[in-house]
């Protein structure tokens, strides 16, 4: 006579025994997570962008690329190239998929603009320093990066002529979100900006909704302040809904 099998033995032979879920539920639980796959795809594109944009191209004369590593690079006159970790954190928070028109505020020496150009369809990079804009134009033409438009102008005014933007990347800190930038952000668009003072800042990610913003703190940094902070007015009656802090 055959020996009766115990429940544990039956589960080994047929893992679905004792599972009260329907066959459809069991099948759906084994499907790949689309959100995770999308995050993995974005992360792969971000890594590729860093590989394709040599950071040392943007160093001033006298900085040794072999010793600079991933650390911030002081440029004088209150400017700097941020550390690779800070730039990656802020780019990651924009969640770019390659279809966006992006506005960068505080383009500086062009490193972040070049990275954005590898991640978005079109980039408008604005800086108050005319000499830096001219330098960057020459470099970008030499490297063959045509989808980045370099503009000399007031950071607090933004660049409405080419908006609205699906993403705005602010490369310097401000005490508050310039409301003129709020007006230039498309519905559903993301704005990433360090908020605080010269000593410490929190990197905030805002996403525009119909009549409000979702706001989330994604990390901390210490970047130079935007030049000439001033009050700006906005036609958008926005309020921010706070989200949980995340470290990216």
Q: Which domains does the chain have, with CATH numbers?
A: 36-57+69-242 (3.40.50.150)
**Whole-angstrom distance, CA of residue 49 vs CA of residue 227:** 28
**Helix or strand or coil: residue 81?**
strand
**Whole-angstrom distance, CA of residue 99 vs CA of residue 67:** 36
- Provide, for the chain, the percentages of residues in helix, strand and coil under a 3-state DSSP scheme, each rounded to the nearest 5: 35, 25, 40
The one-digit pLDDT tens for each residue of the chain (248 residues) are 555 555 555 444 444 444 455 555 555 556 666 556 678 889 999 999 999 998 888 877 766 666 666 766 666 666 777 788 999 999 999 999 999 999 999 877 889 999 999 999 999 999 887 777 888 888 888 888 999 999 998 888 999 999 999 999 999 999 999 989 999 999 999 999 999 998 889 999 999 998 888 999 999 999 988 875 555 544 444 455 555 555 54
* The pLDDT of residue 63: 66
Verdict on whether the full-model pTM lies above 0.95: no
The separation between the first and the last C-alpha atoms of the chain, rounded to the nearest angstrom, is 62
**Whole-angstrom distance, CA of residue 108 vs CA of residue 132:** 6
The helix-helix angle for 111-119 and 34-52 (nearest 10°) equals 140
**Whole-angstrom distance, CA of residue 173 vs CA of residue 155:** 11
* In the block, residue with structure tokens 């069991």: 26
**Whole-angstrom distance, CA of residue 172 vs CA of residue 163:** 20
CB count within 10 Å of CB 190 equals 24
* The pLDDT of residue 212: 85
């Amino acid at each position: 006579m055959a020996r009766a099998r115990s429940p544990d033995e039956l589960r080994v032979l047929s893992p679905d025994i004792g599972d009260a879920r329907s066959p459809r539920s069991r099948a759906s639980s084994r499907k790949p997570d689309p959100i995770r796959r999308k995050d993995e795809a974005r992360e792969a594109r971000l890594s590729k962008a860093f590989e394709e944009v040599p950071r040392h191209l943007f160093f001033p004369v006298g900085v040794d690329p072999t010793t600079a590593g991933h650390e911030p690079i002081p440029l004088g006159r209150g400017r700097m190239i941020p550390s690779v970790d800070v730039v990656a954190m802020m780019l990651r928070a924009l969640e770019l998929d390659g279809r966006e028109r992006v506005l960068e505020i505080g383009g500086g020496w062009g490193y972040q603009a070049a990275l954005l150009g590898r991640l978005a369809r079109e980039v408008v990079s604005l800086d108050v320093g005319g000499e830096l804009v001219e330098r960057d134009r020459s470099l970008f033409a030499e490297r063959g990066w045509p989808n980045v438009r370099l503009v000399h102008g007031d950071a607090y005014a933004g660049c409405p002529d080419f908006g609205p933007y699906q993403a705005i990347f602010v490369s310097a800190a401000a005490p508050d979100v310039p409301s003129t930038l709020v007006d230039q952000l498309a519905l559903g668009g993301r704005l990433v900006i360090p908020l605080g003072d010269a000593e410490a800042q929190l990197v905030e990610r805002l996403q525009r909704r119909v009549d409000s913003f979702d706001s989330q703190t994604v990390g901390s940094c210490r970047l130079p302040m935007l030049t000439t902070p001033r009050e700006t007015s906005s036609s958008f009656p926005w309020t921010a809904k706070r989200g949980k802090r995340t470290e990216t």
